[in-house]
Amino acid sequence: MFTGYWSRVRLLRKLILIVVLFLILPVLVSGYYLFSTSLPLAQKESREMLETVAYQLNENIEYRIIGYQNILMQLSLDSGITATLTQQYRSLQEEVTGLQQINAAVNRIRSYFPMKTIQFYKSNDTLHEDGGTVLNLEKAETKSWYPPMEDNDKQFYWYFEWKTDGSEPSLHLSKWLVDYLSNEKFGLIHVEVTNRALFDQITNPLALKKGQVRRGRRPWQSARRLSGSAGRRRYRQDSVLAKGLRIESRLVYGEDRRRAEHDRLRYEPSGLEGRDDRQPGGVLEEAAVGQKKRPSSSACCSSS
């Protein structure tokens, strides 16, 4: 019966049936089988990859928080800052000098590390607050990050603040300033770090103070928008400017190398054991003395 029916089917229909039965159906069956077996493996690999990324992100954030903690520790152990916050002042000039020293140190730190605020809260009544960096300890009691510092005695305190106004959240790090001789607290140091500074892989240290960094265009990119003689003239100007900058950088680099070589020849020991070139009796001083004792060429000519 099937043979008789197959003999009556036309050639085109036979080809279609053969393609469907022996090509399309096996491909569909094998594809479904491969998909069903490879889907769990793909899900497992994706899960492991996400876990690795989350672990690396956690390590990066922890590393940055530890870095900020080290900065707080260095500031709390700085003898100059401790003396400025604890000494008794008798004149306004001494207070201004101490506050300027603290502000200079804070500005140097903020130029390298993206911190929103660095504040010192002090209990010294003879030192007036400047309203920005050095404040009275009573003002810290009104902050949202201060209550955990009263209940627990820890080395560092963390407080993550979510802003209700839609602004960027920030992390607050605080540490008590303790006089280790008398074991008394004379203030605290507080640092506020934004969410961007913690999660961005590449952060501009000055972005929080001077805006965003704009990437400069190359000469052919800036001249591409212009056409005709204006574009060629702009391209030549940019090329000359870039060439001048390269020459200037080479000159500065060469000058730095010459200074480093001069300092190395000046301060590096000359290979003699137990002798210092910078101390009296060193090699440099003996060379200078020998050069002073050497008669000049004009004196030799006059004597002859």
Same domain as 37, residue 18: yes
Q: Do 239 and 143 lie in a common domain?
A: no
Instruction: Give the chain's mean pLDDT.
Output: 72
Asked if residue 295 belongs to a domain, the reply is no
Say yes or no: 117 and 231 in one domain: no
pLDDT at site 58: 82
Which residues constitute the domain of residue 239?
Answer: 215-260
Residue 102 lies in a domain: yes
pLDDT for residue 233 is more than 70: no
Instruction: Assign 3-class secondary structure to 67-134.
Output: HHHHHHHHHHCCHHHHHHHHCCCCCHHHHHHHHHHHHHHHHHHHCCCCCCEEEEEECCCCCCCCCCCE
**Is residue 202 in a domain?**
yes
Whether 177 and 223 map to the same domain: the answer is no
Higher pLDDT, 209 or 176: 176
State residue 120's pLDDT score.
93
The band of 243, judged by pLDDT with boundaries at 50, 70 and 90, is low
Are residues 51 and 184 in contact, defined by beta-carbon separation less than 8 angstroms?
no
For residues 140, 145, 146 and 151, what is the CA-based torsion angle, rounded to 10 degrees?
180
The whole-number pLDDT of residue 258 equals 61
157 has pLDDT over 60: yes
State whether 98 and 196 are in the same domain. yes
The verdict on 196 and 127 lying in the same domain is yes
Task: Give the pLDDT band (50/70/90) at residue 206.
Answer: very low
The answer on 190 and 124 residing in a single domain is yes
The domain tally of the chain equals 3
Same domain (yes/no): 76, 176:
yes
pLDDT tens-digit map of 12-63 = 677 777 888 888 888 888 888 888 888 888 888 889 988 888 888 888 888 8
Residue with the bigger pLDDT between 192 and 266: it is 192
Is 21 in the same domain as 141?
Answer: no
